[in-house]
Amino acid sequence: MKTDLKTNIKAVIARAYVRVVAANREPSWWLTETLLPVLSTAAYVYVYKALKAPEEYTGFVILGGTMSAYWVMVLWSMAAQFYWEKEMGNLDLYMIAPISRMSILLGMASGGVLLTTTRAFAIFLAGSLIFKVSFSIISFPKLLAVFILTLVGLYGLGMLFSSLFLLYGREAWHGVTLLQEPVHLLSGFFFPVRSLGFGVALGASLIPLTLGLDAMRQLAFKTGAKSGFINVNLEIIALVILCILFLVLSKYAWDFMERLGKKEGRLSLRWQ
């Protein structure tokens, strides 16, 4: 069934609206989604302070704690989302709606970015003020470009996971739980990723957060380049490639899983 661009844009806006408005109807979530990440981040800050590490490591931790909010949102509000939609009976409506399924994914991603950015900014502001982090931005345009590319690549990865997890019932939940902590390590949330060694860091670069965090640290701190993995310009190019790769793969993965699910009758049933 062919659909026009206007209809798909409306679908994107409608799906994003749910994320932004509904999630802000419960004020208590603000407390749990900002205070708890600040507390976990503070633990690493005090470890570095106890070890008398360079001051910029405090900034590294604050920046990593801020970006961790996006990774958690991608896992729980993107990767496993279609499993929950199937459980609630909404997936049937998505299948018969005269829209592209990619518009639903795009709406989920864009709404998730807007929602998470407010939380991430609160974490960043609180951490920076409490621990008195000083930034020395080398190039703001590059820093902004890296941030945007990181989010696009990250949510492209989430869109890919959402289609892959679609057919696996409760295994989606286990998959999300499995991926959470290893990525915290491989992406270098609380330390420079080069500490893992070149080979491990290179493999971890398939995760957009790895290159994004490393580049942002190099651009946001005066001595950040000394602990950087590779040159910032190379990381920007790699992020562009990852963005295109994950978006294209998510489209093909969704189409494949949709055809397979319809063939096996596993899309609209609570098949375990």
DSSP 138: S
Q: Where are the alpha helices (DSSP H) in the chain?
A: 5-17, 23, 28-50, 56-74, 81-88, 91-96, 101-131, 140-164, 171-186, 198-204, 208-220, 232-264
Question: Residue 141: which residues within 8 A CB-CB, separation 6 or more?
Answer: none
Confirm if 124 and 29 have CB atoms less than 8 A apart: no
pLDDT digits (tens, 9 = 90+) for 112-164: 777 788 778 888 888 888 888 888 888 889 989 999 999 888 888 888 877 77
157-177 exposure pattern, b = at least 16 Cβ within 10 A, e = fewer: bbbbbbbbbbbbbeebbebbe
Name the residue ranges covered by the structural domains of the chain: 5-264
In Å, how far are 146, 175, 214, 265 from 27, measured between CA atoms? 31, 29, 33, 40
pLDDT of residue 235: 92
How deeply is 235 buried, as exposed, middle or buried, from its count of CB atoms within 10 A (0-12, 13-18, 19+)?
buried
Nearest to 150 by CA among 62, 248, 238, 228: 238
Encode the chain (272 residues) as per-residue pLDDT tens digits: 455 788 888 888 888 877 777 666 766 666 666 777 777 788 888 888 888 888 888 888 888 888 888 887 777 667 667 777 777 777 777 777 778 777 887 887 777 777 788 778 888 888 888 888 888 888 889 989 999 999 888 888 888 877 777 766 666 667 767 777 788 888 888 888 888 888 888 888 888 989 998 999 898 888 777 888 888 899 999 999 999 998 888 888 877 777 776 676 666 554 44
Nearest to 138 by CA among 216, 60, 228, 58: 216
In Å, how far are 23, 88, 157, 204 from 209, measured between CA atoms? 24, 31, 10, 9
Q: Where are the alpha helices (DSSP H) in 19-100?
A: 23, 28-50, 56-74, 81-88, 91-96
